[in-house]
Amino acid sequence: MTVPVVLIGFGLGMVGGPFADMALAKVPHGNAGSDSGLFNTAMHLGIALGTALTSLVFFSATGGSPDGAINREAFTAVLWWVGGTLAVMWALMFFLPEHTKSQAG
């Protein structure tokens, strides 16, 4: 369980910084605070939605059963689902526009 979770965390960590930089690169200096707050709110909404969808996949696979084998299979299914989603997001990053200089700098 540790290796997949660490790999997913590493992947999310590698995406988070560049994504914030790219999203806020063209924001005028006067609007940086508001846009940063909006960006963080959107990120937290995405995390909450991702957690809810992951929980939905997990509990739909277990059916609420306390059986360890069923929970293990559901956890494996969730890891594949999350890993696949992250792989698709990683592939889509190559279609993002190239980084430009910030207007604030």
CA atoms within 13 A on the CB side of 45: 6
**Of 81, 80, 82, 58, which is closest to residue 70 (Cα–Cα)?**
58
> What is the predicted pLDDT for the residue at 51?
86
* Number of CB atoms found within 10 A of residue 16's CB: 11
CA–CA dist 76, 58 (Å, integer): 9
Alpha helices in 1-105 (DSSP H): 2-24, 32-62, 68-92
* pLDDT tens readout for residues 8-54: 788 778 777 777 787 788 888 888 888 888 888 988 898 899 889 88
Does 100 score more than 70 pLDDT?
Answer: no
* pLDDT tens readout for residues 41-97: 988 898 899 889 888 888 887 877 788 888 888 888 888 888 888 888 888 878 877
Predicted TM-score (pTM) of this structure? 0.61
Distance, CA of 5 to chain centre: 13
